Amino acid sequence: INLVVFGFWQVRSLKPFMNRWFLHHPGSPRSITLLTSCFSHQEVMHLGMNMLGLWSFGGILHDYLGREQFLALYLTMGVGANVASHIFSLAFRNSRPLMPSLGASGAIYGLLAGTAFLYPHSSVSLIFLPFVPIKLGYALPALMSFDLAGILFKWRMFDHYAHLAGAGLGLGYTCWG
C-alpha cells in the first residue's frame, strides 16, 4: 500500500487529490486522513526509513501477536499517533504553525516500543551509527528523549507528538494488551 501511495505522489496531476486525501491537516474536517496519511510518504528517504522500521520490528511483533492482532495494533498505533498529533497541534497552534502530517512513523515507533518491551536485550544498529550495536532497552528511551527535546525546542523536522504517542500505544499494548 505504501509503495502504491508513494507512486501516486509522484504523478503531478494527482497532487491536489493526494493533498486532500493523503495528508492530515489538523484544521480539516476530514477525519479519514487520520488513517490514509499513515500509508502516505512523499519522499523516498521517508518511505525507506519507515519501511526499514516495519521490516526490522514488524516481523517480530507479527510472529508474537499473530496476523489479526498485529494488523489491528499497527492501524491503532498509526491512527492513534495521528490523533495525538492532531490534538497537540491544535492545542499549541498559537506557539507554532499548523502543519499537515503524513507517514507511518507513529506506527513504526509503536512497533519499536513493543519490540523493546518484549526483547530489551536485543541489539539494533541505527542508520547513523551502523556498526555500533545498541540494546533496544536503551535505544527506545534515547529516541523518545530526542522527541521530547524536539517538542521542548519546537523542532519541526519530525512529528514528535506522533512518535511519542505511537511509542506509548506500542508499550501499552505489549504491557497490558
Residues recognised as catalytic: 105, 163
Whose cell is 526509513? That residue is 49
SS3 call for 157: coil
CB 34 within 8 A of CB 79: yes
How far is 146 from 155, CA to CA, in rounded Å? Answer: 10
How far is 89 from 48, CA to CA, in rounded Å? Answer: 26
Ordered alpha helix ranges (H), 1-66: 2-9, 15-21, 33-36, 44-53, 59-65
How far is 177 from 170, CA to CA, in rounded Å? Answer: 9
How far is 49 from 132, CA to CA, in rounded Å? Answer: 18
CB 54 within 8 A of CB 104: yes
